[in-house]
Amino acid sequence: MNTSDSPTTSYPDWFNASLNTPCEAGETSVDGCKINYVAWGEKGKPGLVLLHGSNAHLEWWRAIAPMLCDQFRVVAMDSSGSGMSGWRDNYTGDLFAREVMAVAQAAGLGDKPYVAGHSFGGFATLEAGHLYGSELGGIILVDFAVQPDHLRDEFVAMRAERLKAPQRPTRVYPDRGAALERFRLVPAQQCKHAFLIDYIAQQSIREVEGGWTWKFDPAMFRNLSMDDESTLSQTEKLLNLKCNAAIIMAAESMDYTAEAATYTRELCEGVIPMFDVPGTFHHLMFDEPIAVAMALKATLLAWNCHR
């Protein structure tokens, strides 16, 4: 299966190999919402679910997932509100976690699959670990920092203020080229492999009446219920997991405050492995995809040896 709109000969050999690695498209349903996924590798191997960040989609993992399927059954999924999955009236951490478990079952990942999530996907991954830890082999948070309570409160207050503003409609561009020209990573960053950004842009738009627009639900964050006073904090969830955990950070990430990053490191010291991938920014899979793939593989193999 090759989902690129450009000739693969324009890509380096390692990315051509990823694009041309056999995979299976599939879908399942959670509370009436279609959840789209792609799977690589043989059933019977240890399972791994890969989650993307906000306003992203499963193609964020296209370069990396095939590098893992020699030893794992790997699934990259579109969470609801993203990619080719359906949209909801309301989104919750519990729903995202249930989507993970449903995809793992539908794709035949077997007992105790692993879950790795990037950025906002780290939030969903932590929720899955918190709610279903005894059914998982472990979780990996990829450039995701746990916020201390006061920063979390500030975020909640800021979000409440933003929700008071009227929702802006999703912009529709007159043609495909105009939409591709406007594609940007958020947060903005340098990227060593520009062809990966071009590829991702091609997979991020859809044709609608009047032109082209983005695949994500623009109302998702307005309709998202995150932690409230009745739930455990992210700190408590991370420290009380009933499965393995690790954190892989981008060394030059600008997605979190220095305070949040320091807090997470202090929280994990001596308890949860946490390490950086040098020379990477927040979207580290576009900076050093091979290094990120090997960091994931080494962590998972170490855990798998002790199952």
Tens of pLDDT along 35-89? 999 999 999 999 999 999 999 999 999 999 999 999 999 999 999 999 999 999 9
Q: Say if residues 116 and 104 touch (Cβ distance below 8 Å).
A: no
Alpha carbon distance 267, 255 (integer Å): 19
Torsion of CA 144, 238, 112, 289, to 10 degrees: 20
Task: Give the list of residues 6+ apart from residue 22 with CB closer than 8 angstroms, or none.
Answer: 1, 40
Which homologous superfamily does the CATH classification assign to the domain defined by 8-164+219-304? Alpha/Beta hydrolase fold, catalytic domain (3.40.50.1820)
Q: Which positions of the chain have pLDDT values less than 50?
A: 1-9
Taking 3-state DSSP, the helix, strand and coil percentages for the chain, each rounded to the nearest 5, stand at 40, 20, 40
Measured at the CA of 94, the angle between CA 92 and CA 97, to 5 degrees, comes to 115
- Predicted local distance difference test score (pLDDT) of residue 170: 81
Q: Which two tokens stand for residue 48?
A: 């791994």
Quick check: 271 and 239 in contact, CB under 8 A? yes
- In this prediction, residue 8 carries a pLDDT of 46
Query: What are the sequence ranges of the domains in the chain?
Result: 8-164+219-304
Q: Tell me the pTM.
A: 0.93
pLDDT at 162: 63
Q: What is the pLDDT of residue 167?
A: 73
